[in-house]
Structure 1
Amino acid sequence: MPAAKPLKTGRIAGPLDTVVLVGASAALWALAARWVGPQVLTGPVETIGYLGGLFADPEFRASVWETTRAFSLALAIAWASGLAIGMMLGAHRLTGEVAEPILTALYSIPKITLYPVILLFFGLGMPARVAFGAIHGIVPVALFTMAAVRGVRPVYFRTARSLRLGPLATARHIILPACLPGIVSGLRIGFSLTLLGTLIGEMFASQRGLGHMVIRAMETNDVRLLIALALFLVTVATGAGALLLAVDRRVARLGAGRG
Structure 2
Amino acid sequence: MLLDLLHNIIFFRCLDKAAVVSDTELNTGDYSNAWRLCTVTQVEELKILIRMFPIWATGIVFSAVYAQMSTMFVEQGMVMDTAIGSFKIPAASLSTFDTISVIVWVPVYDKILVPIARRFTGKERGFSELQRMGIGLFLSMLCMSSAAIVEIRRLQLARELGLVDEAVAVPLSIFWQIPQYFILGAAEIFTFIGQLEFFYDQSPDAMRSLCSALSLLTTALGNYLSSFILTVVTSITTQGGKPGWIPNNLNGGHLDYFFWLLAVLSFCNLVIYIFCAKMYKSKKAS
Give the alignment's TM-score, normalised by structure 1. 0.36
Larger radius of gyration: 2
Which structure's residues are more often helix, by fraction? 1
Give the alignment's TM-score, normalised by structure 2. 0.33
The structure whose RCO (Cα within 8 Å, separation 6+) is larger is 2
